[in-house]
Structure 1
Amino acid sequence: MSRKLVRPRDNRWIAGVCAGLGRRYGISIGLVRLLFVLSIVLPGSQLLVYLVLWILMPNEDRHPTY
């Protein structure tokens, strides 16, 4: 897994957090989004984690060099 954890500039819906997680860990982006939406009905701090990741995950470079 050599990809960095970044929010991609394409394929974003809100902030790109789910897309970044899916790309980084080789999981379908749609599956990550579905799991996040389903997790909202469970008790916990999912929205807070999403907001923290939104703040901490950098945007993808316009011209990646990897």
Structure 2
Amino acid sequence: MPTEPAERPRRARMVRGGPLMIDGPVELVDFDGNVIQCDRFQVAVCMCRRSKRYPLCDTSHRPKKSQQ
């Protein structure tokens, strides 16, 4: 019986001061056991917990631009 080729491992890259970038698609499971389907080719997971879309990043970690 032929075996299917092994899928390459998913890559997760930590961005200094930013999110955890995961090659998608991926399923995220939150602390309550809820499953979040992410079909994008790359998913940004919030590491600072400032995101209003937590656990997904909404770029809240970026410094605000000063008004001139």
Using structure 1 for the length normalisation, give the TM-score: 0.22
- Structure that is richer in helix per residue: 1
- Which structure has more strand as a fraction of its residues? 2
Which protein has greater RCO, CA pairs closer than 8 Å, 6+ apart? Answer: 1
TM-score, scaled to structure 2: 0.22
Which structure is larger by alpha-carbon Rg, 1 or 2? 2
